[in-house]
Chains A and B, each alone.
Chain A
Amino acid sequence: NAGVMQNPRHLVRRRGQEARLRCSPMKGHSHVYWYRQLPEEGLKFMVYLQKENIIDESGMPKERFSAEFPKEGPSILRIQQVVRGDSAAYFCASSPPSSSSNNEQFFGPGTRLTVL
């Protein structure tokens, strides 16, 4: 059973370009979470999605950032008009469907975004 997959592993963008980060959850998992890790800091929650639904986006910046988890295909985190402050590691995690709010989350290897 493959783990959580993220691509690309490294992404370089110039200021003003768009960044698209992809996450394929573990097989059978229908919950996806995105976290951002700034240099020398802990992970900060961004958004929690289920198939075709955004459940909690309280950690998403109000502008330029969006996320989706379509019925088919990976979850996408999209950053428009990137700025240097967006440089960070972006981690995706997934968990199985359950009524419990305390499921273990399985993390992908992350995408390291560098904005020049």
Chain B
Amino acid sequence: GNSVTQMEGPVTLSEEAFLTINCTYTATGYPSLFWYVQYPGEGLQLLLKATKADDKGSNKGFEATYRKETTSFHLEKGSVQVSDSAVYFCALAGGTSYGKLTFGQGTILTVHP
């Protein structure tokens, strides 16, 4: 079946530091890949997505590239802000899991001024 593995957290950074959160996946077929963000006490918001190999998703300064050869979809941001503090989830849809999203375990990011 499908699975998603995210780097262990939590991650603590100073403002303006570079961020990388690793995500690798296992799936048959050609899944779509997503990054969702969850702020405290809220639901999930889609941050970015990529639907085919070599696609780059980007939003709010965050980027991730769909790498089929390494089955990865790492999230990056060049300069984080305090307001980026949240939980980040990598997820996939499709392949053998028609309809449903399969999530990684989430990575807590805390950014200090």
List the interface of chain A (C-beta within 8 A of B).
4, 31, 33, 35, 41-45, 48, 55-56, 59, 91, 93, 101-110
Contact = CB atoms under 8 A, between A and B. Distances in A.
B100 A42 contact: no
A112 to B, nearest CB: 9
Q: How large is the interface on B (under 10, 10 to 19, 20 to 34, 35 or more residues)?
A: 20 to 34
B94 A102 contact: yes
A44 B46 CA distance: 17
Contacts of B82: none
Interface of B: 31-32, 34, 36, 42-46, 49, 51, 89, 93-94, 97-106
A33 B105 contact: no
Nearest to A9: B41
A102 B31 CA distance: 7
A44 B32 contact: no
B99 A48 contact: yes
A105 B101 contact: yes
B101 A33 contact: yes
8 contacts: A33-B100, A41-B106, A42-B104, A42-B105, A43-B44, A91-B44, A93-B101, A107-B36
